[in-house]
Amino acid sequence: MKYENAKDILPANLLAEVQKYARGKLLYIPVENESKSWGEASGYRQKLLKRNVMIVNRYKSGVTLSELAEEYFLSLDSIKKIVYGKKEKELLFEPTVKSAVNYANAGLLEEWLTLYSDTFCNGQVISFENIVCCGVMKVPLRLVDEMVEKTENSTKVENEAAFVTPLIISYKNDEFVLNGQYRIFHELKHQNVNAYPSLLLIQKEEYKKFERMYGRHFISVN
């Protein structure tokens, strides 16, 4: 699903009313009769919650944090948030860094990523079977592979969108690769942003190497 300018869709009088409450914000407008929240319909949130309960129970039974991280293919920081974090509260999905961090703190970052993909990436399916989904971290943009097409549509984006939406970056074959979001990326570079909150997706077979080379150099966003 791509961004649309509300003035191109809504009648002027309706747009004026919406601007009173949400000027400059990114909104999700649910379809008619949508009764279940994201995650409930697919059962994915319930699956993650059960996993988190199992992680907590295994930790209480004596399994170490490092052992749990290796067993469940999660970063050590994610395991700590599940074990020590606050109980899940009502989570509001938005395509923002703040929303992603809230999900990460509840041990549900995979769900946030799934919701983002469903909403803004034309329903592209993300499989977590072979990747480690790290928390939201400040990633130096100089590390990101810039072999992206600089088309007319990828050179400019609304400034506010560029500074509220986290980037989604894959680490594979020793490279940091952008998963779409080229317009946002180029705007950040244009604004001379050095490091930016991002979700890192790391191939499981490369996670130990990533930790060894970069683990101490990335700062978690809380």
Of the candidates 190, 200, 191, 192, the residue with the CA atom closest to the CA atom of residue 221: 200
Write the pLDDT tens digit of every residue in 59-103.
Answer: 988 999 999 988 888 878 888 888 887 665 667 888 899 999 988
Of the candidates 101, 109, 97, 132, the residue with the CA atom closest to the CA atom of residue 39: 109
Are the beta carbons of 168 and 198 closer than 8 angstroms? yes
Are the beta carbons of 195 and 138 closer than 8 angstroms? yes
Query: Taking the domains of the chain in order of start, what are their residue ranges?
Result: 36-220
User: Which of the four pLDDT bands, split at 50, 70 and 90, describes residue 161?
Assistant: low
pTM over 0.75: no
Please list the residues that pair with 201 across neighbouring strands. Answer: 133, 170
Which residues have CB under 8 Å from 177's CB, separation 6+?
144, 145, 169, 170, 171
User: Which of the four pLDDT bands, split at 50, 70 and 90, describes residue 153?
Assistant: very low
